[in-house]
Amino acid sequence: MKHKVNYLLVGTGVAPLLAAQRLVNRGETVAILNPERDFFLENSEMSLDLLNFQTTNSDLSRRFSNNLPDQVYRDMVHEFPGAIEMWKEEDELKAVQPFRVLSAPWVRQRHRLWAASERSFRAERVESLYLRALDLGWKPQWLEGLSLARRFPGVSLKKFDQRNSEKWVGFLGPRFGDVDVERYRIGLLEFVRERLGRRNLMTAAHILGMDTKGVRFQLASGLPLTIEVGRSMLFFWTPKLERFLGQMIQKYDLRLVPVFQDAVVRQRWEEWEVLSRDPINSYVVGHFEGMRVWANGEGVPPPGGWNQLKIMRREIVPGQFLSATSFNDLSGMLFRFMGWDRYSVRKVGVRIGYRWNQSQPMDLDADGLHAKIILACDGPIHWIAKQVRQAIDGV
Amino acid sequence: MEFKIRDGEIDVAVLAGPRIKVWPTHGARSLSRWCSDAGLKVGWYGGSGLTVRGVLPGESNGGLVLMEDVQKRLHRIQAKAIVKITPQLSLPYPFEGWYSPGLIPESTARKLMAQGSLNWHSLVVILGSGNQAIRLGIELLQQGLSTQVICVESYSTQSQCWEVERRRFEILGGKILFAKPIQLSTRSSFTWEIRLQEGELTHYLEVARVISVGPFEPDTGFREYPAGSFLIEWENTETALVQNDVSSHLLDESRAVVLASRLIRGLGDFSSLEFKQSLDRALWASKQRLRELERNSSFAFEYEGKWLSPSYKQLIHQFPGTPKNLQPEKIVASIECIEPIACRVCEKECPVNAIQIERTASGNTQKFLLEDACTGCGKCVQACPSAVPVMIEGDQSKSYSTLLLGYREKQKIKKGDRVSLLNRKGEVLVSSRVLDQFVDGEVPLFKVEVPSHLIWEVRGMVSLAAKAEVDHADEFYQEKGARVEVQIQGDTRRVREGQMVSVALFEIGMSRPNDILICEDGSCGLCQIEADGVKRLACQTTIHQGMAIRFTRDHEPSSQICPCNELTVDQVQQKFDLTRTETIEAFLSSTEVIRGRCHGLLCKSACMKLAQKNLIKTMGFVDWSFPWMDWTLTE
């Protein structure tokens, strides 16, 4: 079987779906190949920006602006075929029904709250961040002790006073947007599948060869196919695609090997889900000693509030995953700061993200076939949407 | 609290999954022996001293195992290959009211039997018709715990057990029904009504309990997922003692060799040619045996009324396990093990090697009983776990011959008693009397007179007097432990001291769906209560005088596929219709099933079936979510 398209997109997550949407809107013919078995297996796509400032110290202002709810909404809505709901704390307090379409993805608005022990070296970092946020006009609110604890997701207020001899300081930052990844993916995939048809959206595709005549590949069923590419082939670089891309570069364009190796630094995150006895404040995302903490749940919080706490912890020393440090950090936060006396771990997982040293697309010459590798297709989903839009506008 | 982690490295880590009671299992021992002989470093992790919390799969193969010892120290082991051994828990596909105290899994029923908490002098329905289900039915009937047992096969049109087990069950009065459970509803604290659909016929049965045994899906043994990752889950089939379940024991042993061979080829080296040859030989033999064990021959006799049909009579006469030349004054064994059952216990036990079993690759028995060598000692009757052999003293010249039947029931029969003789499906053929009784071993042998023309029909007996005795007496149920007063939801109740709260609730008819003792070790975390104001698990808390018990969660019976997240089949299906995911991981993640408190214990198999219905490949899937069960860390 053989057919011709203008653009062939290869990727594992939402990036090729977004790109397909944009290209089809331009009137191009598109096909998507996913070497993975499903579009839902890419776990590097995050609902929110974890704000890992170690890498992006200089562009704080840009980063903050990109995460503002309206900006997140604008980034998301371009390629999304249906409604996206905006939701903030006040809506619920005013008894406004937050969701009009239940299957629509939401952009939830949550404050960011940085906290640290006054005795810790991190307190200085928090203070410095506060001052910079103040300079930038973000109106941060400096908090201490109980007023800080009251805002932080998961803190047991009953025991906070009795148990905490330490002084805790921090500040409440602006509201940022976070996105319902699952619903966004589902809506997008459903629409793209309808527009492209099954013939042009294939999973578990194993690429056998590329040249000017097209791309030969095989599906899991063993069916060999060829797609003739009229204009360009685009690869969307995500952690799941890394090995595949490495093989492609080794095979077709050796000059890209050093660039490919230097483009990213792998960053692993421990993803914990723990159960809280008390309802958790759903409207704040906490930052505490290298960890990000928020109430885990979908849609409208139940009357008592959610009681699952999601904690993302960055792996500091490579190979020290789920190490004594992980447990000490986590327990330190839950026992010492939040005032818990025990915690139940529901789930622990790994998320791999990248720290990008460059973001411009890379050109790949595959035996005469023009291909581009689009970088930075992981991380917060609204970033991916933006990155893909810029990349597609450039081709 | 300061955490310290002890790190280690190993080639093959064999892990006890949640709910494994006997550790290491026979299969784990066999596997380890082979692997260590090949020079691999093997470790068993689990048991009473060490709780394995879970596995984090590595990027290529193997992974990281995290466990906790009794002193709450953490251990982190990097392993090249990981074998997780899990017990089977067969729960049916959800039907109305399936998740209720009326339905208990087999492990729960066995635990209650062991504690003397079962005393059901009425109908018990067992879901499933495999050997395990039939054997449980036999035990209930033999011990007089139930007067009537019906095994319900709902997923196939033929029973999943061996004919020899089915025969034993039916001789004891058990019945097998081919029907689908539709609804389970409560009648009183101790009685339930199950509605079964058999074609166009609907049965309404008032039952004491429904026990879920299965199998409801094919037994896959071990599964490697993802393929090539050396991350293996092995469903432990071994249930109890070897004598009770030879087939499971053999199955585990054979699977251990096959799995060991796979691991050794992937990780070990074959420096010793001798070892390689011995492994190859063992592998070949194990594969042969597995073929025999895993094959469900679905053999069943056919009858014309109460009598065997002529073709099946001929089959018995031609079978090499039955005697061909019956002679007066000579007692000889007759072993109608027509199915290719691979247990061979009788062969091992025969003191004069009169049993030598030879079968072809296709399962046809070529050689079995050496009639002339048989001394009629009866060892085979004692040994056979399925009670197949009978001893025949045939005299065709006389109108009566004699049979020696093994009799394992608790009903008392003595010399001179009148008995009814039964055919292979438990129907009364004729009455007779016991001529003699021999007690040499666990199973007493009774010599009965049988009309010579019925010598190939009679295979069981029952004492009418003893039967009546069982109906009226509670002699097999002896209450253990003194009664004490406790407060349950504010009401005063008298329960047995020293037993677990969940068992006490069960005994007084107050158990909740979450108290059906699924895990027995607290791993599922479902049965939470408040005991004296402190939150605890009912299956881990002992009753004492004056205890105050309150329920902390709702406990309504459920028809949902995922009772923890309150998801119905329709809701899961709707989510799938939106996402149309193509892999099982994506299906589970997007539908949010198996992510509840029970970590998939209740809903995993039903979700797999739902995924299969939606054409998602689930073959070999293993959920490696970490941790395996909720893990509580205290300050």
Domains belonging to chain B, first-starting first, are: 5-87+223-294 (3.50.50.60), 103-212 (3.50.50.60), 303-472 (no CATH), 483-551 (3.10.20.30)
Interface of A with B (CB under 8 A): 37-41, 103, 182, 186, 189-190, 193, 203-204, 275, 321-324, 327-328, 331, 335, 340-350
| Mean pLDDT (whole number) for A301-307 | 77
* Residue A302 pLDDT > 80: no
The whole-number pLDDT of residue A1 equals 61
Q: How confident is the model at residue B523 (pLDDT cuts 50, 70, 90)?
A: confident
Mutate to test the interface with B, among A32, A38, A39 (most CBs of B within 10 A): A38
A95 and A118 in a single domain? The answer is yes
pLDDT number for residue A273: 94
Place of tokens 């404040």: A281
Tell me whether strands A206-211 and A214-218 are parallel, antiparallel or unpaired.
Answer: antiparallel
Q: Of A155-169, B350-364, B394-408, B487-501, where does mean pLDDT reach its minimum?
A: A155-169
Same domain, yes or no: A288 and A363:
no
Q: Quick one: what percent of chain B has pLDDT higher than 70?
A: 93
B585/A41 CB distance under 8 A: yes
Q: Tell me if the pTM is above 0.80.
A: yes
* SS3 label, residue A268: strand
User: pLDDT tens digits, residue range A260-282?
Assistant: 888 888 888 999 999 988 888 88
- Residue A272 inside a domain? The answer is no
pLDDT band at B469 (very low <50, low <70, confident <90, very high): very low
Nearest chain B CA: its distance from A188 CA (Å):
10
Task: Say yes or no to pLDDT of A55 above 50.
Answer: no
Q: Is residue A349 part of a domain?
A: no
The pLDDT assigned to A162 comes to: 60
Q: List the single range of A100-114, A154-168, B408-422 with lowest mean pLDDT.
A: A154-168
Mean pLDDT over A119-126 rounds to 88
* Whether the predicted pLDDT of A187 surpasses 50: yes
- In this structure, the number of other CB atoms found within 10 A of the CB of residue B398 comes to 10
| Residues A191, A168 share a domain | no
Q: What does the pLDDT average to over B361-375? A: 87
Buried b (16+ CB within 10 A) or exposed e, B458-475: bbbbbbeebeeebeeeee
* Contact yes or no for A350 and B580 at CB 8 A: no
Rounded mean pLDDT of A15-25? 95
Residue B83: what pLDDT? 97
Nearest to B74 among A38, A327, A348 (CB): A327
pLDDT tens-digit series, residues B435-445 = 998 887 778 88
Q: Which of B66, B525, B583 sits opposite A37 (nearest CB)?
A: B583
Please check whether residues A362 and A257 belong to one and the same domain: yes
Inter-chain CB proximity A342 and B589 less than 8 Å: no
Give the containing element (helix H, strand E) for B175.
strand B175-178
Does a structural domain hold residue A347?
A: no
Please give the Cα distance from A115 to B44 (Å, whole number): 43
Contact, A179 vs A107, CB < 8 A?
yes
Note the pLDDT of residue B389. Answer: 93
Mean pLDDT of A23-33: 94
ipTM: 0.88
Say whether pLDDT at B354 is over 60.
yes
Confidence of residue B517 (pLDDT cuts 50, 70, 90): low
Nearest to A341 among B586, B625, B634 (CB): B634
Check pLDDT > 70 for residue B563: yes
What confidence category does residue B576 fall into, taking pLDDT thresholds of 50, 70 and 90? confident
Kindly state the tokens that stand for B157: 């049109």
Q: Are A128 and A206 part of one and the same domain?
A: no
What pLDDT, on a 0 to 100 scale, did the predictor assign at position A164?
61
Asked if the structure places residue A222 within a domain, the reply is yes
Q: Which of A81-95, B171-185, B197-211 has the lowest mean pLDDT?
A: A81-95
Residue the block writes with tokens 């009324």: B305
Q: pLDDT confidence of B473, banded at 50, 70, 90?
A: very low
Give the dihedral sign, CA B173/B174/B179/B184. positive
pLDDT for the residue numbered B478: 55
pLDDT at B61 over 70: yes
Size of interface A-B (CB pairs under 8 A): 87
Same domain, residue pair A326 and A361? no
Q: For residue B55, which residues of chain A lie inside 8 Å, CB to CB? A: none
State what percent of residues in chain B have pLDDT above 90: 40
Instruction: Name which of A40, A331, A346 is nearest B633 (Cβ-Cβ).
Output: A331
B239 pLDDT band (50/70/90 cuts)? low
How many Cβ atoms sit within 10 Å of the Cβ of residue A162?
A: 8
For residue B475, what pLDDT is reported?
Answer: 46
Residue A30's pLDDT is what? 96
Q: What is the reported pLDDT for B471?
A: 46
Please enumerate in sequence order all residues whose Cβ is within 8 A of that of A112, keeping only pairs 6 or more positions apart, or say none.
A51, A172, A173, A174, A175, A176, A284, A285, A286, A287
Best of A162, A344, A350, A352 to substitute, by most chain B Cβ atoms within 10 angstroms, is A344
> Which residue of B1, B525, B586 is in closest CB contact with A38?
B586
A189 shares a domain with A93? no
Q: How many domains does chain A have?
A: 2
Mean pLDDT of chain A: 87
Higher pLDDT, B635 or A19: A19
Q: Nearest Cβ partner of B590 from A40, A323, A346?
A: A40
Is A256 a member of any domain?
A: yes
Q: Are B166 and B159 in contact (CB under 8 A)?
A: yes
- Domain range enclosing A164: 65-179+277-342
Residues A258 and A374 in one domain: yes
Q: Is A40 within 8 Å of B580 when comparing Cβ atoms? A: no
A327 vs B contacts (CB less than 8 Å): 3, 5, 74, 633
A362 and A259 in a common domain = yes
Cβ–Cβ of B630/A344 closer than 8 Å?
yes
Residue B468 has pLDDT above 60, yes or no: no
Highest mean pLDDT among A65-69, A119-123, B407-411: A65-69
More confident: B283 or B473: B283
Contacts of A328 in chain B (CB under 8 A): 2-3
| Residues whose CB falls within 8 Å of the CB of residue A82, separated by 6 or more in sequence, listed in order | A101, A103, A104, A187, A191
Q: Judge if A175 and A95 occupy the same domain.
A: yes
Q: Which residues of A fall within a CB distance of 8 Å from B633?
A: 327, 331, 342-345
pLDDT digits (tens, 9 = 90+) for B146-165: 889 999 998 888 888 888 99
Question: What band does B284 get if pLDDT is binned at 50, 70 and 90?
Answer: very high
- Count of beta carbons in the 10 Å neighbourhood of residue A368: 10
Residue A51 CA to residue A271 CA, distance in Å, equals 15
List the beta strands (DSSP E) in chain A: 2-10, 30-34, 45-46, 85-87, 106-117, 141-144, 168-179, 201-203, 206-211, 214-218, 224-236, 264-275, 284-288, 291-295, 308-314, 342-356, 362-366, 369-374, 379-380
| B4–A348 C-beta distance less than 8 A | no
Q: Is residue A193 part of a domain?
A: yes
pLDDT mean over B447-463? 90
> Residue B266: phi, psi to the nearest 5?
-85, -35
Contact B74 A348 (CB under 8 A): no
Cβ of B64 within 8 Å of Cβ of A331? The answer is no
Of residues A103, A344, A345, nearest to B578 (C-beta)? A103
CB-CB: which of B66, B581, B633 is closest to A342? B633
pLDDT for A93 equals 63
Find, in chain B, the residue whose alpha carbon is nearest to that of A346: B630
Our CA-based measurement puts residue B491 at a distance from the nearest CA of chain A, in whole angstroms, of 27
Q: What is the pLDDT of residue A175?
A: 92
CATH code assigned at A335: 3.30.9
DSSP B379-435: HHHHH-TT---EEEE--TTSSEEEEEEE--SSS---TT-EEEEE-TTS-EEEEEEEE
pLDDT tens per residue, range B129-150:
988 899 999 989 888 888 899 9
Task: State whether A174 and A190 are in the same domain.
Answer: no
What residues does B445 pair with on adjacent strands? B406, B438
The reply to whether A16 and A145 lie within a common domain is no
Closest CA to B627 of B60, B68, B49: B68
A114 phi-psi bin (left φ>0, alpha ψ -120 to 50, beta other): beta
Query: In the prediction, which pLDDT does B246 show?
Result: 74
User: What average pLDDT is seen over chain B?
Assistant: 86
Is A302 within the bounds of a domain?
yes
What band does B580 get if pLDDT is binned at 50, 70 and 90? confident
Instruction: Label residue B280 by pLDDT band (50, 70, 90).
Output: very high
CATH at residue A242: 3.50.50.60
Report d(CA B490, CA B479) in Å as an integer.
Answer: 25
In a domain, A215, yes or no: yes
Question: Does the pLDDT value for residue B476 go beyond 50?
Answer: no
Q: Are the Cβ atoms of A349 and B4 closer than 8 angstroms?
A: no
Among all residues of chain B, which has the CA nearest to that of A277?
B535
Hey, are the CB atoms on B631 and A350 less than 8 Å from each other?
A: no
